[in-house]
Structure 1
């Protein structure tokens, strides 16, 4: 042992320690307790604690359940992307989530998702998001950035003009449609990110 107490030849963190640190980072970002995440992943808080400290290995099945519980993908646990640095996303490089003749959706928040996820939606006249649906149980804010739309929340319709916004839980059935004569655009801001997809 060296004078500073470190083991000889000890370099950076081991792969197990790096993985554990990422799991812990995502868990704390989501404000989840060890017990809450362990329950979702069908494992014990003690095992999860050891995993976060890099003391044990987990099966791919357990890692997949942890990723689902955290609202991320399995590859997100292993990426070495430094999300602490500024990241610029050009309009032409936006990932398109869904496109139809009249509607386009784009992911603006870059993966791996951390504290929030942000989407841009563009609707030609008559465009919509389809039938009302839910995804997880997070806070969602809708901001109209161009045109007018009708937001449906739990069967109630809310006409929204440019500059208007609405907040609701993602567990509330919701949908948007453009009934105007001009294109419309919106932003969806969701926190924390939901595990089952875009708005």
Structure 2
């Protein structure tokens, strides 16, 4: 697929796709989902550089990082050959979020687990979303088709896990 074709399918500019490919810019999770969908892949597939069979140890410092917004970091935990689940670790600095608007992706099951800190997870459309304040060890399970948004309103960095099955490919 050409850069131009991918840009059309992902609803982006060709120059943006080219810059992203060369590591000169970062992307939102929504855009990565559109790119993955246009390619018939999952977001996890975008970060796969090898098709190693068997087990893999991924050190914290070697986790593939997904480009996210300011004050947030998202890392891919699940690696190939694991194909039926995606696992991501995330860090949210105080005051950071996944964005101003809730997002949804596919029709999978998602488990959201807080490892450290305090997070507010909003579930539902923006005008009627329910707020769930979660601390260490708390989790919520929901469909990825439900609009959701994460906000760290605390004074400390929060660390969370997303577990998604099956992997989602749509934006």
TM over 0.5: yes
Displacement of 1:99: 3.5
Displacement of 1:101: 3.2
- Gap regions ≥5 residues in structure 2: 1-35
Which runs of at least 4 in structure 1 moved beyond 6 Å after TM superposition? none
- Gap regions ≥5 residues in structure 1: 1-63
Q: Which residue matches 1:115?
A: 84
* TM-score normalised by L of structure 2: 0.67
Q: Which residue matches 1:47?
A: none
Say if 2:95 is the partner of 1:126.
Answer: yes
Q: Which residue matches 1:185?
A: 159
Check conservation: 2:52, 2:81, Cα contact below 8 A: no
Displacement of 1:153: 0.3
Cα deviations across residues 156-198 of structure 1 (Å, max 9, x unaligned)?
A: 111001100000000000010100111101000000000137x
Tell me the SS of whatever aligns to 2:61. Answer: helix
Q: Which residue matches 1:150?
A: 120
Give the RMSD, CA atoms, in angstroms.
2.8
Aligned residues: 130
Which stretch has the larger CA shift, 169-178 or 100-109? Answer: 100-109
Q: Which residue matches 2:51?
A: 81
Displacement of 1:81: 2.0
Check conservation: 2:69, 2:98, Cα contact below 8 A: no
State the distance in 1 between where 2:139 and 2:65 align: 23
- Rg (Cα) greater in structure: 1
State the distance in 2 between where 1:108 and 1:80 align: 15
Higher relative contact order (CA 8 A, sep 6+): 2
State the distance in 2 between where 1:101 and 1:151 align: 18
Q: Which residue matches 2:6?
A: none
